[in-house]
Amino acid sequence: MSYVVSTKEEQAQMLKDIGVKNTEELFNDVPKSVLLKTPLNIKEGVSEFEVLKDMEKIASKNRLFKSTFRGAGSYKHLIPEVVKHLSSISGFLTSYTPYQAEISQGNLQGMFEFQSEICNLFDMDVSNSSVYDGASAVAEAMLMTLTNKKNKILFSKSINPNVQAVIKTYAFARNVELIEVLSKDGCLDIEDLTLKMSEEVSAVIIQSPNYYGLLEDIEEIVNISHELGIMVVESVNPLIAPLVKSPGSLGVDIVCGEAQPLGLDRAFGGPYVGFMATKKVNMRKLPGRIVGQTVDEEGKRAYVLTLQAREQHIRREKASSSICTNQANSALRCVIYMGAMGKQGLKEVATQCMSKSHYACNEICRIEGYSLKYSGEFFDEFTIHTPYDIDEINNRLRKLNIEGPLRLSKCSMLVCVTEATSREEIDEFISILKEVSRWS
């Protein structure tokens, strides 16, 4: 069961040609005391049919909800079938990083299209071809901004806590001082930001829409940061791009985030894909693989991995990051998703998300005991304040096979509604909230 091809006879012939008596002899360099005396203590292999059955059984222990109102960094969207089919074609799936450009033009061009589309979404000049996930993208963006003199980073408390956790990890590794900027009415507190700015601060990191679903005042943040020579790193849900002013046009220096909403399954958190884009002036600081256009010897337009002098295999310890393998196939899925949706379709997805979340929000706020916690403009998530027991609400929803909102605190919950949720499903959800209100 190991996909080994050669027969025992062929293997014997090969050993003979090598000039050894048996396989054990091939491992003569392994010290005797290190060699295993007994086989590994794991089960015997079984056929793929039995494995499938076993794995199906494990999969069935995960609950499939008929509808969900939970987001908080991982979103359920409608994914056209064509996305899965095309991105799984075996050439795309079973190839390595495109080191040999002559036989990797498909992957390279796909990455170039990804970079182009990411730049288009945000009005940026340069994008890399992906990093591990949205959180590590924000952390890498943070590292990009550091200089010898500027080793402090401001970050907004309204960033997704998981992203904050990853930033903290990277900051500890690189001995960076992190300073938290408080929130006011669910958004970054501009006064607190101004207070905490200093000469040693290299960048301020924000998220919009933020953890509570709200749009931050990017323009204001950029203006006051740039006055002091502080860069602005914005983490963003790419799906909102067709609707709001672009980070590029507002002067954001690095835009980054999680592209999972662009055609990737929630899949218990991964694989997702982090994206990073910036202005031309920061091009050589951008980590990760970057694909560039060139020509082959006959002058035919083609693509190669480029600006490799930034990278670990050339610069070793002087590289901007150690990243090597990234999330190429996830990025390809995003490109195909964006192609399938197209210019109009992506705007429609965004508009539907916004319309449905506002419909749900309005309906919820009409029920006694529920109110919108923060008043700012939101996208597909919003925070509801309620005195009722949120665990009880979620238990009731669960009985109907509905995944309820994320409990943020005793009295607040984060509700997510996307285009994947029908009005009927929203109304069913609302009816449970009403029920709780009536009984409480």
Partner 1 sequence: MELIFEKSVANHRCTLLPKLDVPLYEIDKSVARDTPFDLPEIAEIDLVRHYTKLSKETFGIDDGFYPLGSCTMKYNPKINETVASLKGFTDISPISSPEDVQGALQVYYESEQVLCEVTGMDHISFQPGAGAHGEFSGLLIIKKYHQSRGDFNRNKIIIPDSAHGTNPASAAMNGFKVITIPSKDGLVDLDELDKVLDDTVAGLMLTNPNTLGLYDSGILEITKKVHSYGGLCYYDGANLNAIMGVCKPGAMGFDCIHLNLHKTFSTPHGGGGPGVGACGCRDFLYPFLMNPRIIKTNKNEYAFEESGLSVGKVTAFYGNFLIVVRTLTYLKHLGCNGLREVSDNAVLNANYLRVKLKDTFNVAFDKICMHEFVLDLSSYKEKYGIRAIDICKRMIDFDMHPPTMYFPLIVHEALMFEPTETEGKQTLDKVVEILKNIAIEAKSGSVDLTKAPYTKSYKRMDEVKAAREPILRYVHEK
Helix, strand, or coil (residue 407): strand
Nearest distance in Å: CB 68, partner 1: 7
Residue labelled with tokens 């002058």: 299
- Specify the residue, 224 or 283, whose C-beta has the smaller distance to partner 1: 283
Nearest distance in Å: CB 297, partner 1: 4
- Specify the residue, 90 or 147, whose C-beta has the smaller distance to partner 1: 90
- Specify the residue, 107 or 197, whose C-beta has the smaller distance to partner 1: 107
The residue type at 406: L
Nearest distance in Å: CB 195, partner 1: 26
DSSP state letter for 214: B
- Specify the residue, 107 or 183, whose C-beta has the smaller distance to partner 1: 107
Nearest distance in Å: CB 367, partner 1: 17
CA dihedral 281, 287, 288, 294 (to 10 degrees): 20
- Specify the residue, 132 or 370, whose C-beta has the smaller distance to partner 1: 132
- Cβ contact 414:383 at 8 Å: yes
Residue labelled with tokens 């290190």: 34
- Cβ contact 383:374 at 8 Å: yes
Question: Could you count the other beta carbons within 10 Å of the beta carbon of residue 52?
Answer: 10
- Specify the residue, 135 or 181, whose C-beta has the smaller distance to partner 1: 135
- Specify the residue, 57 or 439, whose C-beta has the smaller distance to partner 1: 57
Nearest distance in Å: CB 212, partner 1: 15
- Specify the residue, 154 or 248, whose C-beta has the smaller distance to partner 1: 248
- In whole angstroms, what is the distance from residue 108 CA to residue 171 CA? 32
Nearest distance in Å: CB 373, partner 1: 19
CA angle 216/160/234 to nearest 5° reads: 45
Nearest distance in Å: CB 405, partner 1: 11
Residue labelled with tokens 């672009």: 246
- In whole angstroms, what is the distance from residue 159 CA to residue 234 CA? 10
- Cβ contact 381:69 at 8 Å: no
Range 360-365, long-range pairs (CB < 8 A, 24+ positions):
360/69, 360/415, 360/417, 360/426, 360/429, 360/430, 361/415, 363/426, 363/427, 363/430, 364/415, 364/430, 364/433
- Cβ contact 209:181 at 8 Å: no
Nearest distance in Å: CB 110, partner 1: 6
Nearest distance in Å: CB 288, partner 1: 10
Sign of CA pseudo-dihedral 325, 327, 68, 358:
positive
109: Cα within 13 Å, side-chain hemisphere: 9
- In whole angstroms, what is the distance from residue 294 CA to residue 300 CA? 8
Nearest distance in Å: CB 384, partner 1: 17
| Cis preceding-peptide flag for 247 (omega within 30 of 0) | no
- Specify the residue, 169 or 194, whose C-beta has the smaller distance to partner 1: 169
Helix, strand, or coil (residue 274): strand
- Specify the residue, 197 or 277, whose C-beta has the smaller distance to partner 1: 277
Residue 270 CB contacts under 8 Å (≥ 6 apart), including other chains: 133
> Phi, psi (5° rounding) for residue 407?
-75, 120
